[in-house]
Amino acid sequence: MLGTLNQCCTVSPPQASTPKPINSMNFATLNKSSISYNLLQRAFPIRAYCTVYSSNSKRNNLFSRISPVRRADLIIPVLDQWVDEGRKVTSLELQRIVRDLRSRKRFSQALQVSEWMSVRGLCPFKSGDCAVHLDLIGVVHGWEAAECYFNNLTDEQKNDKTYGALFNCYIREGLVEKSLAHFQKMKELGFAYSTLVYNNLMCLYRSTSQLERVSDVLSEMKENGVTPNNFSYRICINCCGERADYSGMEKLLEEMESQPFISVDWITYSMMANVYIKAKFKEKALIFLKKLEDKLHKDAIGYNHLISHYGNLGNKEEMLRLWGVQKVVCKKQINRDYITMLGSLVKLGDLETAENVLKEWESSCHTYDFRVPNVLLIGYCQNGLVDKAETMLQDIVKKGKTPIPNSWAIIVAGYLNMDEMEKAFECMKEAIAVRGQNPGWRPKPHLVSSISKWLGDKQDTREQEAFLSSLKAVVTGNKDVHVESGSTEASGIGEENENEEILSYEQSK
């Protein structure tokens, strides 16, 4: 690494130039369960990639060379080789690459590109770039490293963007005192009076369960002439919902709908519906689901949420109707769409329809993503049909597909719940054997301990030692890369995390 952590003592921050805002930057963070990097994700390398290309390589686009590289320490050689080949780089292209990597949660790689851009000096490194760089340091190395970088910036570089980026780092870590002190400093400098900064402050109070203070921030915004946006109202509405303040929630929505500068879209109505579904106010929920549908147009994610809502209400008829509408309106369905539909069907216990949906997916998919059939495997296991789940997985294997270990682990858990330990043990060995398909996978501790105890009770010491030895390779790896370990949730979008999903979706737009 070129020096992010050594920034404080060896590498001076780049000299400032005329500030240029990057509108796509959004430093708002809701809470530690919805921040862009997930601290609970397993961190292992996906697989090794070659980073040296011949000069006549077909990869004539810089991003196409960087994109396959998963190890952060191999990013710099790719960039250097690009320049050594006499190719040009521009600020706009590097900014786009950083933005794209961030959107894919590949923060270590994004930081390396930003670091290279700063140190090599081949193109201007402006105040917006400094702010993005600071935020990436906070994500990858923590708030102290970000603070150190900030302290080494020149006075000119300490502007609204870099102050805002550091503010976000404090909020992401839930540091209330530091956040509020920094906010006060921003006020004194005139940097605090923006919608983004106030939205971040709301996020701080929400993430630290000070829900009643969120509406106070909205009031202060308006008093100071700062215009709230969709996100401002949404987080206030969500906090009212969490406090069961339904009248307050409705008043905020009315105010939001009356604002000429705000266009209320499906996201807000989805939040409202979700609050009422959780509160068991079915009729109220249906009102907002109708409004949600009217706003959807061709938004596939919106259809996913709407289908999930009706699944939570137990309304299979509406789910199937909307699934049909989505296939006509959105034309192409991706894995996420099938996972949502399958999850909702599994939640309702309609495994027969789920089987048909899975067959439909299998007939059209180009790449076999095991996260899709895993939903049905979970459904079988939840309904005591573990043997059927194993047969289904074995049939997929016979077709030449190699499962991810998560698929076998689902069946392991199913057999464990039925106290069929021999079968659970055999399936766990299958899971370990295909761990290369998902190096980020780790077996659940209770599965390991239960199988190990069972082997111990059998006094099969040799088998027990062999089993534990086989697990050693599973729990080692490179922690540079953030990899999803795979969920065993049956629902694509659960009732409990619905509003987190839609708030996070809004932030990523």
The SS3 assignment for 42 reads strand
CA distance 354 to 386: 16
* Closest alpha carbon to 307 in 332, 278, 338, 335: 338
DSSP notation for 74-121: GHHHHHHHHHHTT----HHHHHHHHHHHHHTT-HHHHHHHHHHHHHH-
Which two tokens mark 336?
A: 């996420």
Which two tokens mark 409?
A: 């682990």
* Closest alpha carbon to 74 in 82, 62, 66: 66
CA distances from 175 to 171, 204, 206, 209, 507 (A): 6, 8, 13, 13, 21
Mean pLDDT of the 185-209 span: 96
pLDDT in tens, 357-394: 999 999 998 889 999 999 999 999 999 999 999 999 99
What local confidence, expressed as pLDDT, does residue 504 receive?
52
Mean pLDDT of the 150-163 span: 95
CA distance 436 to 480: 17
DSSP state, residue 73: G
Burial letters 216-227, b for 16+ CB under 10 A, else e: ebbeebeeeebe
Q: Tell me if 216 sits within 8 A of 474, measured CB to CB.
A: no
Mean pLDDT of the 414-432 span: 95
Strands (E), 354-428: none
Q: Which residue has the higher pLDDT, 123 or 149?
A: 149
The alpha carbon of 345 is separated from its chain's Cα centroid by a whole number of angstroms, namely: 24
Q: Which residue has the higher pLDDT, 45 or 322?
A: 322
Which two tokens mark 201?
A: 């402050």
Give bridge partners of residue 43 from the DSSP assignment.
482
Q: What is the pTM of this model?
A: 0.77
Rg (CA), the chain: 25
Q: Tell me if 497 sits within 8 A of 317, measured CB to CB.
A: no
pLDDT in tens, 257-303: 999 999 999 999 999 999 999 999 999 999 999 999 999 989 999 99
> Given 3-state DSSP classes, what are the helix, strand and coil percentages for the chain, each rounded to the nearest 5?
60, 0, 35
For the chain, the average pLDDT equals: 83
